Chain A
Amino acid sequence: MSLSSKHLLGLHGVPKEDIQTILDTATTFREVLERPIKKVPTLQGKTVVNLFYESSTRTRISFELAQKRLSADTVNFSKAGSSTSKGETFKDTVKNIEAMKIDMIVVRHSSAGVPHYLTKITNANIINAGDGRHEHPTQALLDMYSIREKTGRLEGLKVCIIGDIAHSRVALSNIFGLQTMGAKVSVCGPATMIPKGIGNLGVKVYHDIDKAIAEHDVLNVLRIQLERAAGSSIPSLREYHNYFGITSERIEKNNKDVLILHPGPINRGVELSSDVADGPYQVILDQVTNGVAIRMAVLYLLGTMN
């Protein structure tokens, strides 16, 4: 029942039993979210710091709500307006926060490996909320939960991740997690957005979106990340939409049983047309609800570990 690690740094190397435990535990919290009083006293007395060095809406609010619904005390740190601008080093900032007696740290940072570094300089449980282009494990877990909720399984399912794979931490966590659970994972996108050597991870590469839609049960459509210089990989957003955008016509022509996921925020008219983003094939807002349940499960499993 307990997880094998006291941190959640990524899904690479996380055993199948652990992923299963997190997904199953999330079912419990999904029920709590449906109650009139959406709060349980489980993490009373635990203090969690949300250390966000990079902007975020969904993930930060989702983590914060998950913490509050488990009755943990939470503090939020964001880079803007902090003493980082006075020249304090990352390590000093963290050491100072830890000295205020905290139990867990949820961290997002633009550099890969920051959560791993934190495990070396603090005793708190560390949860990775996204590190650079590396991993975003809770996002992949909530994706897997949403897929399992809709299709009833992960084993043997064919999932295609579409878009800017090279700049995406969501893609990498999804690949590791889904493969561990026995799904077959492919990627699809323009050649400039597919990292070299991705085939070594056992991932099939598609460049034809119609073929990708036709041959998969699930499409996890990523956001074109303009802030990560994705603009230099494609001539224009319009052209990207013409070649790789998911539209109702493409779905109806190729595969009407396909399930569409998107981690948000959506660029409407770029990776998804607006009618798909609001249409019957997608579970985008279910993903958001499930995200709170998944984060509650992770916080619960790590926070009550002895």
Chain B
Amino acid sequence: MKIKAQLIDEAGLNRTITRLAHEILERNKGSENIVLIGMRTRGEFIAKRIHEKIKEIDKSEPPLGVLDVTLYRDDFRTRLKQPEVSVTNITFDINEKDIILIDDVLFSGRTARAALDALMDLGRPNTIQLCVLIDRGHREMPIRPDFVGKNIPTSINEEIKVKMKEIDGEDAVYLIDISED
């Protein structure tokens, strides 16, 4: 496993998040009916950043929640390692709301699929809009993002590693080579 390239640095991440916040506000004509939901683990922190940005730009504070989709995954039978579950923390009503579902990397689309099921068990939102920092392609489900930080076409032997200050000590996105040589 080796780092091939740094795709985004700290300043770049900040600019991308600013743009995503503006796009979300533009598409939804303000923040009145939106709620932000980050997917554990990195999506949670990206959601927090976007939330702060929206506060700055729009002087409003849409509700912010965290979603854990482990219990809705489709790969329990095939995975070698048992995934760790953690707690979903959505303390507000999502009925009739426009949900901005936030994750770090969009890859196969299976996590987003699980998130849709999880959200449906919590209520009936008006819309669910998917916001990802990186779209790396290789979709296995009919899922497309509504807001994309950066499109990065990757090979299947590569991986995208998003690092966030809150848990990784730095803000950066790396392209990593996982092919065995």
Chain B associates with chain A? yes
* Residues of A in contact with B (beta carbons under 8 Å apart): 1-2, 25, 27-28, 31-32, 35-37, 39-42, 300-301, 304-306
**B71 is contacted by which of A1, A40, A305 (Cβ under 8 Å)?**
A40
Chain B's closest residue to A31 (CB) is: B87
Chain B's closest residue to A25 (CB) is: B85
B72 touches A40 (CB 8 A): yes
**B122 is contacted by which of A25, A37, A305 (Cβ under 8 Å)?**
A37
Known: A36-B122, A39-B121, A42-B76. A1 touches B86 (CB 8 A): no
A300 touches B117 (CB 8 A): no
Interface of B is mostly: loop
Does residue B80 face the partner (Cβ distance < 8 Å to A)?
yes
List 20 A-B pairs, Cβ < 8 Å.
Answer: A2-B82, A28-B68, A28-B71, A28-B85, A28-B88, A32-B88, A35-B122, A36-B123, A37-B122, A40-B71, A40-B72, A40-B121, A41-B72, A41-B117, A42-B72, A300-B85, A301-B82, A304-B82, A305-B82, A306-B82
B86 touches A35 (CB 8 A): no
A40-B71, A306-B82 given; 8 more Cβ-contact pairs under 8 Å: A1-B81, A1-B84, A28-B68, A28-B85, A36-B123, A40-B121, A305-B82, A306-B77
B82 touches A35 (CB 8 A): no
Chain A's closest residue to B84 (CB) is: A1
Most interface-central of B68, B83, B87, B89 (chain A CB within 10 A): B87
Residues of A within 8 Å of B27, CB to CB, are none
Q: How far is the CB of A293 from chain B (nearest CB, A)?
A: 11
List the 9 shortest-distance A-B pairs measured between CB atoms, nearest first. Answer: A40-B71, A37-B121, A2-B82, A28-B85, A42-B71, A304-B76, A1-B84, A31-B87, A28-B87
How many pairs of residues, A versus B, come closer than 8 Å at their CB atoms? Answer: 46
A2 to B86, CA, bound (A): 14
Residues of A within 8 Å of B70, CB to CB, are 28
Does residue B79 face the partner (Cβ distance < 8 Å to A)?
yes
Known: A32-B71, A37-B121. A27 touches B82 (CB 8 A): no
Residues of A within 8 Å of B123, CB to CB, are 36
Q: How far is the CB of B2 from chain A (nearest CB, A)?
A: 27
A41 touches B71 (CB 8 A): yes
Interface digits, B71-101 against A, CB 8 Å rule (1 contact, 0 not)?
A: 1100011011111111111000000000000
Chain A's closest residue to B89 (CB) is: A31
Most interface-central of A28, A32, A35, A39 (chain B CB within 10 A): A28
Q: How far is the CB of A205 from chain B (nearest CB, A)?
A: 40
Q: How far is the CB of A108 from chain B (nearest CB, A)?
A: 27
A2 to B77, CA, bound (A): 14
A28 to B83, CA, bound (A): 13
Q: How far is the CB of B97 from chain A (nearest CB, A)?
A: 15
